[in-house]
């Protein structure tokens, strides 16, 4: 018995006892068949450590998959090595695709096929895209919601018919709304309750009321969702962003988040994927404090990576306060525990949602809203988030945007670039208005989405003096330089006191690759001194910038500037 099979059996016993062992036995036979069908392997199982991830909505980025194929060379030239496709599966699109109607098909309108295309043609179209991406060295991961489905999913369509329907138990039902009272309301100001009336009962949901939560107490749910993951493994994807995994298991009298059996479910998924094809990425989407997210790494037997949600606001706080401490404090082991060797944080400045303020203190939330909520309509969840693009938050200042990128690209973790941020895309008010009218919700997150007008972008990028071109040149230089240095993806972090609180400084080191990073968080010129390193004689830094001496071994740091300086290893 392999270690993965042993894990699968143990997880199953913990969740369901011995009552459903026949169901598990049949599933293990399926896994053996899937394993035998695999003709390829992952050469570098920890490829995600060196990745630069580019996150996009296919339709908003360039219409459909044929349009995305046209832009693959652009993305490769930018320096991306992995594409994170935001929801692409079949959906009624009430929540930009996070409400999944069918898990084994891509939305038809994304495939660029004529109406009435067969299932075989649809499958072939997506595989063609994967082949085109892989031929350019671009890996592909995508979102899959494991906690909930769309109300239009066939399981829920059956479940709502009657209490006696066999699919009724695929979801969570109650005669009252008194159950799970300690589960927090995730969508404050958008949903008044976690329960929704349907017939003479209520069903439970942690997100929108059209996204009913799955009932993992029913083993058929775990097997059904596992088959969905296996299907896409067979199609050739490189991994999954496991959406909303902290919520998959519920128990009354708890907050219904991060419960032990939620981890058991994740372990089951990981063991299943590793058994069939080791090296596929499982990325934890868990907006939780770092010490809770770390739990989703397990003993290197749950997710390979997780988002460092609290680091993002701390980057913005440090930049607004001109003080290195908020970032340093967040990465201290008291706040961010050490993680297993094979695991990785994923870091980001912006994403498809708001600049979340869930993981900050009340004082920090007030500080962030005072500095970055530049328009009242950007507010999200009654002040727990700010819906704005990176360029808007930093007031279209290429220096500040470049500084933010420098911080993200050099701190520990795998960086994520949100589509359009590399050329200073701003909030899309027209798209917000369009979606508000379409779904009936004034969800401010629609400001940070919207369709790219490539004719307009290419015109702006052809002008070296345009704002878009300046941001793009900075981003490309930073990304390409990062990729040349394994210290950034795999190296250790050593903080450096550069003699001024405005200077965020550290050394990243991996074997013979050692880089000193200096970043001036302030709007004034500052002198940085790094003890023991004669940085004033460094000439140009790794980014091609002059390293200007400031006396006594110091480096003159212009406002909102960064210097990446090669160091000799000991």
Q: What is the DSSP string of 414-450?
A: EEEEETTGGGT----HHHHHHHHHHHS---GGGGG--
Classify residue 400: in a domain, yes or no.
yes
Q: Do 557 and 441 share a structural domain?
A: no
Q: Do 499 and 475 share a structural domain?
A: no
Residues that are catalytic: 243, 285
Helix H, strand E, coil C: the string for 95-106 is CCCCCCCEEEEE
What is the model's pLDDT at position 286? 80
Q: Do 269 and 158 share a structural domain?
A: no
Query: What average pLDDT does the chain have?
Result: 93
Pairing of strands 503-510, 513-520: antiparallel
Segment 342-354, tens digit of pLDDT:
999 999 998 877 8
Q: Do 525 and 378 share a structural domain?
A: no
What is the model's pLDDT at position 96? 83
Q: Do 508 and 382 share a structural domain?
A: no
**DSSP characters over 545-569:** -B--B-STTEEEE-TT-EEEEE---
Tell me the C-alpha to C-alpha distance, in Å, between residue 317 and each of 113, 137, 289, 466, 527: 46, 36, 17, 28, 22
Kindly tell me if the per-residue pLDDT of 570 is higher than 70.
no
Q: Do 343 and 266 share a structural domain?
A: yes
Q: Please identify which residue in the block is written with the tokens 């979606």.
A: 435
Give percent of the chain above pLDDT 70. Answer: 99
- CB of 271 within 8 A of CB of 7? yes
Tell me the C-alpha to C-alpha distance, in Å, between residue 483 and each of 196, 289, 337, 403, 472: 48, 29, 26, 17, 17
Segment 217-250, tens digit of pLDDT:
999 999 999 999 999 999 999 999 999 999 999 9
Of the residues 462, 483, 504, the one at which a domain ends: 483
N-terminal to C-terminal alpha carbon distance within the chain: 46
Q: Do 499 and 441 share a structural domain?
A: no
Distance CA 216, CA 170 (A): 8
Classify residue 302: in a domain, yes or no.
yes
Q: Domain of residue 119: give its range.
A: 48-149+217-483
Tell me the C-alpha to C-alpha distance, in Å, between residue 176 and each of 173, 202, 204: 9, 7, 11
Kindly tell me if the per-residue pLDDT of 51 is higher than 80.
yes
Widest distance between CA atoms in the chain = 81
Q: What is the CATH number of the domain that holds 199?
A: 3.90.400.10
Beta bridge partners of 526: 557
Classify residue 10: in a domain, yes or no.
no
What is the model's pLDDT at position 514? 95
**CB within 8 Å of 453: residues ≥ 6 apart:** none
Segment 29-39, tens digit of pLDDT:
999 999 999 88
What is the model's pLDDT at position 290? 85
Instruction: Name the residue among 243, 234, 232 with its Cα closest to residue 283.
Output: 243
Q: Do 181 and 137 share a structural domain?
A: no
Give percent of the chain above pLDDT 90. Answer: 83
Q: What is the CATH number of the domain that holds 524?
A: 2.60.40.1180
Classify residue 497: in a domain, yes or no.
yes
Residue environment code for 40-67, b if the CB has 16+ CB neighbours within 10 A, otherwise e: eeeeeebbbbbbbbbbbbbbbbbbbbbb
Classify residue 36: in a domain, yes or no.
no
**CB within 8 Å of 270: residues ≥ 6 apart:** 7, 282, 298, 301, 302, 303
Distance CA 393, CA 373 (A): 8
Classify residue 517: in a domain, yes or no.
yes
Kindly tell me if the per-residue pLDDT of 366 is higher than 80.
yes
Q: Do 288 and 140 share a structural domain?
A: yes
Q: Do 158 and 144 share a structural domain?
A: no
DSSP-based helix, strand, coil % in the chain, nearest 5: 40, 20, 40
Query: What is the rounded average pLDDT of the residues 418-431?
Result: 96
Q: What is the CATH number of the domain that holds 478?
A: 3.20.20.80
Distance CA 425, CA 261 (A): 41
Q: What total number of domains does the chain contain?
A: 3
Of the residues 422, 457, 483, the one at which a domain ends: 483
Spell out where 184-280 has E strands: 195-198, 201-204, 239-243
Distance CA 452, CA 282 (A): 29
Q: Do 531 and 399 share a structural domain?
A: no
Q: Considering the entire predicted model, what is its pTM?
A: 0.94
Find the radius of gyration of the CA atoms of the chain: 24
Tell me the C-alpha to C-alpha distance, in Å, between residue 91 and each of 87, 88, 94, 110, 154: 9, 8, 8, 11, 12
Of the residues 440, 465, 483, the one at which a domain ends: 483
The H or E element containing residue 5 is: helix 3-16
Segment 179-211, tens digit of pLDDT:
999 999 988 777 889 999 999 999 999 999 999
Q: How confident is the model at residue 535 (pLDDT cuts 50, 70, 90)?
A: low
Kindly tell me if the per-residue pLDDT of 554 is higher than 90.
no
Kindly tell me if the per-residue pLDDT of 569 is higher than 60.
no
**CB within 8 Å of 284: residues ≥ 6 apart:** 242, 245, 266, 293, 296, 297, 302, 303, 305, 306, 307
Classify residue 513: in a domain, yes or no.
yes
Q: Do 171 and 319 share a structural domain?
A: no
- CB of 211 within 8 A of CB of 99? yes
Classify residue 349: in a domain, yes or no.
yes
């Amino acid at each position: 018995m392999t270690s993965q099979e042993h894990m699968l059996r143990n997880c199953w016993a913990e969740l369901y006892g011995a009552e459903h062992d026949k169901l598990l036995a049949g599933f293990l036979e399926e896994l053996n068949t899937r394993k035998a069908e695999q003709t390829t392997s992952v050469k570098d199982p920890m490829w995600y450590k060196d990745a630069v991830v580019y996150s996009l909505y296919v339709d908003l980025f360039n219409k459909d998959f044929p349009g995305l194929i046209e832009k693959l060379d652009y993305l490769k030239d930018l320096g991306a090595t992995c594409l994170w496709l935001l929801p692409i599966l079949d959906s009624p699109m009430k929540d930009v695709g996070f409400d999944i109607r069918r898990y084994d098909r891509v939305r038809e309108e994304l495939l660029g096929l004529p109406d009435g295309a067969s299932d075989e043609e649809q499958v072939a179209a997506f595989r063609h895209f994967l082949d085109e991406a892989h031929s350019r060295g671009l890996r592909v991961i995508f979102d899959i919601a494991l906690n909930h489905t769309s109300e239009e999913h066939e399981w829920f369509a059956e479940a709502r018919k009657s209490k006696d329907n066999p699919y009724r138990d695929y979801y969570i039902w109650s005669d009252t709304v008194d159950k799970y009272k300690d589960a927090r309301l995730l969508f404050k100001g958008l949903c008044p309750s976690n329960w929704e009336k349907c017939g003479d009962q209520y069903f439970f949901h942690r997100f929108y009321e059209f996204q009913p939560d799955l009932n993992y107490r029913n083993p058929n749910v775990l097997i059904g969702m596992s088959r969905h993951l296996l299907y896409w493994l067979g199609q050739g994807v490189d991994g999954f962003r496991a959406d909303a995994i902290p919520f998959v298991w519920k128990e009354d009298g708890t907050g219904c988040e991060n419960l032990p059996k939620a981890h058991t479910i994740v372990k089951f998924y990981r063991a299943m994927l590793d058994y069939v094809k080791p090296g596929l990425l499982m990325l934890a989407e868990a907006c939780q404090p770092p010490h809770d997210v770390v739990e989703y790494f397990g003993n290197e037997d749950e997710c390979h990576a997780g988002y460092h949600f609290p680091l993002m606001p701390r980057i913005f706080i440090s930049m607004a306060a001109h003080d290195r401490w908020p970032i340093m404090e967040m990465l201290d082991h008291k706040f961010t525990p050490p993680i297993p060797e094979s695991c990785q944080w994923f870091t980001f400045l912006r994403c498809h949602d708001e600049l979340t303020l869930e993981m900050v203190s009340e004082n920090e939330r007030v500080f962030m809203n005072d500095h970055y909520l530049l328009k009242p309509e950007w507010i999200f969840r009654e002040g727990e988030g700010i819906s704005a693009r990176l360029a808007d938050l930093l007031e279209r200042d290429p220096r500040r945007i470049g500084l933010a990128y420098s911080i993200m690209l050099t701190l520990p973790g795998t960086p994520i670039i949100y589509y359009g941020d590399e050329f200073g895309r701003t909030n899309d008010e027209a798209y917000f208005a369009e979606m508000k009218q379409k779904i009936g919700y004034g969800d401010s997150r629609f400001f940070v989405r919207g369709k790219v007008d490539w004719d307009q972008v290419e015109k702006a990028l052809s002008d070296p003096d345009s704002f878009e071109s300046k941001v793009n040149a900075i981003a490309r230089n930073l990304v390409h330089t990062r990729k040349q240095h394994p210290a950034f993806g795999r190296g250790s972090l050593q903080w450096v006191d550069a003699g001024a609180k405005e200077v965020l400084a550290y050394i990243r080191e991996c074997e013979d690759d050692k880089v000193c990073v200096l970043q001036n968080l302030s709007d004034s010129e500052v002198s940085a001194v790094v003890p023991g390193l004669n940085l004033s004689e460094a000439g140009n830094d790794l980014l091609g910038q002059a390293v200007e001496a400031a006396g006594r071994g110091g480096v003159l740091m212009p406002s909102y500037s960064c210097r990446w300086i090669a160091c000799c290893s000991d």
